[in-house]
Structure 1
Amino acid sequence: MIKSLKTSVLLLFVCVSTTLMAQEQDVSDKELGQFADAFTEVQIQNQKSQQKMIAVIKEEGLEVERFNEIQQAVMDPNKESDATEAEKEKHENATIKLEKMQPEIEKEVIASIESTGISINDYESLAAKIQQDQGLQQRLQAIIVKRQGDKS
């Protein structure tokens, strides 16, 4: 009985290991490389977008930290805001401008992903797989580190 149980556990372990390896292997190095390129482009695009958003907030006369404090108070009904009426107006104006920027930012991100040869659907699908698979995360990280080293 114990021998049979050990055999069953061993078979289960082998099956699970094989399944996990198969899941990781269904993403080729080429696909992962394209994802790495797209991921890097998205990071660059995000940095550019953040700079634009910071500029909008500052143009309205608020520091980013103060904008964020007011935003937290707006989002949390239990939090009382100490913002002046002038600050609330500046925050509102900045928020409207930031919301208007959003569609263009999304277009730029999608274009940067697709410029690497991967569709947005494939990018999102791979992102979901990578998020759930530590082996894929490690492979992706290795590719990104190698490419950063090659650029130096």
Structure 2
Amino acid sequence: MKKFFSSLLFVFALGTASVTAQSTAMPQQQEKIEVSDAELEKFADVFQKMRMMNQQVQQEMMAVVTNEDLELQRFNEIHQAEMDPNKDIETTSEEDKKYKAVVAEIEVIQPKYQKQMQEVITESDLSMERYQQLAMALRSDVELQQRLQEILKS
């Protein structure tokens, strides 16, 4: 279950992370990569589509949580405790049941969106590896961030 949420969050982070956000942890220095304007424009197009998909999946996931009559804040508290072995939280058997039902439904939703995201990337003529490489470079390359911001503004 932890792997599921981690991979889901990673995929969405690639498509939705703020371009200018700097990691709070010390980022590993990575070699600057060469990125043509055309390639960056393809990335920007994919980035925008990923943002829209992320909004859709977030709404769908929130609906799943609320349909199980579980408050979003409580779901997040339980989920954080599930993800962090050092974090302990008391839950009722009813909350456990609802949490597990939500997770089961989200596990059904996830592959659909992952497939859609992969299709968006491949339709752009970027490989998944290149998309991820560009996304990682954007975390630390301020010049590349600025170039992408300019493209996104137009």
**Range class of TM-score, shorter chain:** 0.7 to 0.9
Structure 1 residue matching 2:90: 3-state secondary structure: coil
Quick one: structure 1 residues 30 and 92, their matched pair in 2 at CA, closer, same or farther if it must change by over 3 Å?
same
Other-structure match for 1:102: 110
Structure 2 residue matching 1:39: 3-state secondary structure: helix
Question: Structure 2: which 5+ runs fail to align?
Answer: 1-30
**Residue identity opposite 1:43 in structure 2:** R
Pairs within 5 Å for 1:78-89? 78-89=86-97
Which of residues 24, 38, 54 is equivalent to 2:62?
54
Question: How far off is 1:134 after superposition?
Answer: 1.2
Pairs within 5 Å for 1:1-150? 26-146=34-154
Identify the structure with bigger relative contact order (alpha carbons < 8 Å, sequence gap 6+): 2
Q: Deviations over 1:90-133 (max 9, x none)?
A: 00111111122222111011112233343322211222232232
For normalisation by structure 1, the TM-score amounts to 0.72
**CA RMSD in angstroms, aligned pairs only:** 2.0
Provide the rounded CA distance (Å) in 2 between the counterparts of 1:144 and 1:109: 19
Question: Structure 1: which 5+ runs fail to align?
Answer: 1-22, 147-152
Greater per-residue helix proportion: 1
Question: How far off is 1:51 after superposition?
Answer: 0.8
Sequence identity percentage: 41
Are the aligned partners of 1:113 and 1:120 in contact in 2 as well (CA < 8 Å)? yes
**Residue identity opposite 1:116 in structure 2:** S
- State the aligned residue count: 124
Quick one: structure 1 residues 78 and 26, their matched pair in 2 at CA, closer, same or farther if it must change by over 3 Å?
closer
Provide the rounded CA distance (Å) in 1 between the counterparts of 2:85 and 2:32: 44
Are the aligned partners of 2:81 and 2:89 in contact in 1 as well (CA < 8 Å)? yes
Question: How far off is 1:25 after superposition?
Answer: 8.1
Other-structure match for 2:16: none
Quick one: structure 1 residues 83 and 30, their matched pair in 2 at CA, closer, same or farther if it must change by over 3 Å?
same
